[in-house]
Structure formats: C-alpha cells, structure tokens
Chain A
Amino acid sequence: MGEMEQLRKEAESLKDEITAARKAVQDLTLQDHVAGTAVVGRVQLKTRKTLRGHLSKIYAVHWGDSKLCVSASQDGKLIVWDSYTTNKVHAIPLKSSWVMTCAYAPSGNMVACGGLDNMCSIYNLKGKDGNVKVMRELAAHTGYLSCCRFLNDNEIITSSGDCTCVLWDIETGSQKTVFAGHLGDCMSLGVAPDFNTFISGACDFTAKLWDIRDGQCRQTFGGHESDINAIGFFPNGNAVITGSDDASCKLYDLRSDQELITYQDSGIMCGVTSLAPSFSGRLILAGYDDFNCNIWDSLKAERVGVLSGHDNRVSCIGVTPDGMACCTGSWDSFLKIWN
C-alpha cells in the first residue's frame, strides 16, 4: 500500500474512533432532557430604528458596545453609527469597495475590514487630529477575507477563502499564528468569551475549535450538508451555533464534543447567512437568504418569532453585549435595530 493510501486509511479510522468516543459519552439527549420544558412564548421584536446611508448591499455589522456599531457595504464605506440617534459618527471611505467583513475592537479605539482585496485593514478611530486613517494593512492571505475579530488593540484574528485563519500582531503587521486544517474556504469566525479559543466555519461543511496560543485544532464538528456561513459562541462559552447553506442551524456542545440539536423546518429551503444568540442563549436569531430573520427557541428547536421588514437578503446580524437590541443588515442597504 502506498504511503498516501495508508495515511488516508489512518485518517478514516481515526474519524471512526472519534465518532465512537462521542457516542460513548452520549447518555442523554437534549430533546429528552427538555421534554418537560415549555416552548417560550411568541417573541415579537419591533424595528426601533432604521439606519440609512449606505448606497449598496450591506455585508457585515458588528457592535462595539451596546450603542455604537460599525457596518460595511459594497458602496466602499465603513460607517460607525450611534444607534440611539441614528447619527453617523464616522463614514470611512475604503480603498477597495469589495468588502465582506468588519469588526469593532472591544476598546472602541479601532475598526477593521477586508474582503476581495485579501487584506485586513485596521483603522484608528482615535487619531490625534480627529481624522480616521488606515493604521495597518495586514496582507498575507492568498484568498478573500471573510471575517475578522479583534482580541485586543494589538491582536486580530482573520478567516479567509484560502482555507486558513490567522492571528496577527497589528503593531508589526506580521502573522503570529496560522491555523490550517480546513479543507474549504473559511467563511466565519467567533472568539470565545474568555478569549482563549476561537471557532471557524468553512465550506468543507465543518466547524473547528482552535486554541489561540498553541495554534492547534482541538475539536472538529461535522453534520452540515453544505457550506457553513455563520458561526457564534453560546454566551457561556460552552457551546457553538452554526448556520449553513443547507438551510439549518446546529448547536454543538463543546464539553461532550457533539451535536445536540438542529434548527430546521421543511418550510425553510434557503441558506442561513448570519446568526446571533440572545443574552441568555435561549433564543437564536438567524438571518436567511429569503429576506427574513427567524427566531428559534434554542432548547425546543421551534420557531418562536420572525423579523420581517427587509426588502432583500439579511446578510448580517448582531446582538448588543447587554442583550438589549439586535441589529440586522441587508442587501437592501439598510440596517434595522430591533427589540
């Protein structure tokens, strides 16, 4: 047997062992555990604000705190909004209009974006003369930038169509760690609440959990039947939610290393573009290609609400850190604040 053939056989055998190890600890299912729990009552959120100003499709939105958020549009602008007043705090023109992602640093000092230029551009919002300028351009990915998230003012993690994720040192512009292992474009990433790990979702239909400091993939979750477009941590850091082109979302438990439940409905036949858990995690808000956003009871896997109001695909969604509101962004060029 050739070396390659031997390695392939070894890989298949290890995957079977992992499947068996997962089954061995499965002595209770989520469905059985919550059999006696009632579904939450109908959730009706209203549009409180519409943020108008972008001239083209919105691809990404990210909350900085519970008032300010940044959005990215293919009109070539990053806009930082005061969501309470709908005022534009900053309107930042981009070198490349093919932007796919944006992020707000936890400190509020910086924002970042990237897309088909394969780069992650970092902008300093607190420059001395009040002007917002490019602080750093992080270039090394050989594919589009699909997502980026700050760890702090000097470190950011990016995911790319080149199938890798990278941890960057912003000051030096260098790659500290390359996270390789996905067999398809990385589409989305989420950082754990304790900042020790992050998760990535990819076009190989899997989600991977990575240790930020040692660069290793700790866990891989399969089950989806198509590209994973959206991923997020559960608020307590012990579970992961994914959204896929296969029209479903899934909940994976990190401690038992397995899928707990799937959120799907025979009436939904279009892909999930984005998702966010509510403050407690009991609700999962998911944006779809059919212009709607469905609200799921995360424990009972039933739809308990819908956010309708956009005239095109809901491309991005985010819940404020204090859980008080969610923001949806759409290809119709508007952002809406709901609660």
Chain B
Amino acid sequence: MLSEEELQSNVSVASSPTSNCISKGGGLKVHNYFGLSDSSSVESSTLSGNVEDDKATISLKATELTLGLPGSQSPARETELDEKPFFPLLPTKDEIFSSSQKNIASGNKRGFSDTMYTEKNWMFPEAVATQSVVNKEVTQNIPKGQLGTLNNSSSPPAAKAQIVGWPPVRSYRKNTLATTCKNSDEVDGKPGSAALFVKVSMDGAPYLRKVDLRSYTNYGELSSALEKMFTTFTLGQCGSNGAAGKDMLSETKLKNLLNGKDYVLTYEDKDGDWMLVGDVPWEMFIDVCKKLKIMKGADAIGLAPRAMEKSKMRA
C-alpha cells in the first residue's frame, strides 16, 4: 500500500507518548487510518499490507461496542477528531445529514453511515483520516477517496464512502445495468420489499406498537417515527411525575427525553440479548432485530452509563 518511507513517517506520527501502538521494531506496520493514536480506547490497527485485512479491520472497528450512545463521543475523541457520529440514532444536526447525503455520488438514499459499512466498501471514511493526525506528505499516500477535498477547506467534511467517478464506467452503462438488475429482482420475486414488523414497547406505556423496519432506511428515520408514536406516553409520564407538568411538552423537550436523559432505545436480537440500538450497521440491525424497547433511564444504566453521565452534565 505505502512505500517504505511513508510507512516510517506514518508510524512515527502514531507513536506519540500516550499511544500504545505496536512499534516498528516488532515487524508489524502500523497504520493510523482512524487517527486514534491519542485515544487509548482503541488500539491502532495493524496492517499486513493486505487490503482485505484492512477492510475486515475497519468493519470490526465499526461494529465494536463502545460505551455511550451512538452519537455521543468519548471526551478524548471529541477534541481532536472531525469524527462524525457513526450511527446517530436520533436526528443530530441537520447539516451533517444533508452534507453527507450530498456527497453520495450514487444517489443512494441511505445515510452516509450506512454506506460506510457495506461489505463492499473499501474506502476509509475521509472523516477519520484527519489532518490533525497525519502530516502533509503522508496525506498523499493514504488511500482515500478525494485527496482534493481533504485539502480543500471549503468542502463538506462528511465521509465519502464511495468515490465520485470510480470505477471508471460510463454513467449510461451504470444506469442501464441498474435498470436491468432492478427488473430482475422484481421478476425473481425476491423478498426485498416484504415488510418486517417488530413490536415496540415502552416502559410505562399501557400497550405496545408495531413498526415496519423496512419502511425506514436509517436509524434517524426510525427514531423520529418512534418519537412521534410515543409522544402521548411521554406526556403522560411528565404529568404524573409533576416534573414538567405545567410546561407544554415541546418537540425539543421530547427529544431531550428520548435523547438520553431518561429513555434509551434497545432491541432484542436473535440470541435473545438486549442490545443498545445504533451500534451496528442498519442492514445488519434489521436482520437481527426481533423486538424494540424504549427503556427508562434507570433500567438502562447497565447499557448506557455514559449517556446518563452526559445527560447529567447537560442538565
């Protein structure tokens, strides 16, 4: 991937004082694609020069369980990285979504977080190979999509999972093949369009709801739908607690409620375990999700302690 000089320089960048990455002497080459050398929570990935490994490593990182709600950033990371929340469960700043979606060349309507995690994606998200960690020379040699955009301060900072104009196939050909494949899917009657209903329960709510997971394309859509669905129950809760009884429950307050202050969204997977929603790629999630549950803060402590801390900090 990189010639020897670049590897050396990359390694030297990586071996900053706080880092615990493997040194050059060990015969292993270290690549700092995530720019997380200063964050001890994630070890640097080792690179054997085989790109297949890279892909595996990256996806492993992506599915790694981290403490804290997706969308919340560990304090160490926040300061130095331009890291976008991988799976913002709840609608975060609009600009992140809109700018990232603008950059999806294929016009794929899924959010950028989804495209980053398709198996086929070889691209290192631009967001994580940041300038703060990598020096100028190395920038040129790190495999990433848009060299130009990394240096061009005016470009949107979203991750580009697919490179514009690559592979070099005429758009006419791309469109024609896409149409053909779409038609064949319909002809084969693949269950691509079948609905996938799962039960949604909420602590304290008198009855459950059902949602069709396939009618959403990312976590953001799911969370907004759930918000709308469970508004009435939350209102009820507030009233009985007397905490915000007098205030009209505005949209933002509702968001705060669901945003980690009091409620956490969880799901039961195929193994029967209760997991925090948002860790895995959307496609993987809808494959394994059997039930959804909106848990109250106290119950959810075991799953998301950091979220609780953050909400206390905000309060």
A and B form one complex: no
Residues of A participating in the B interface, judged by any CB pair closer than 8 Å = none
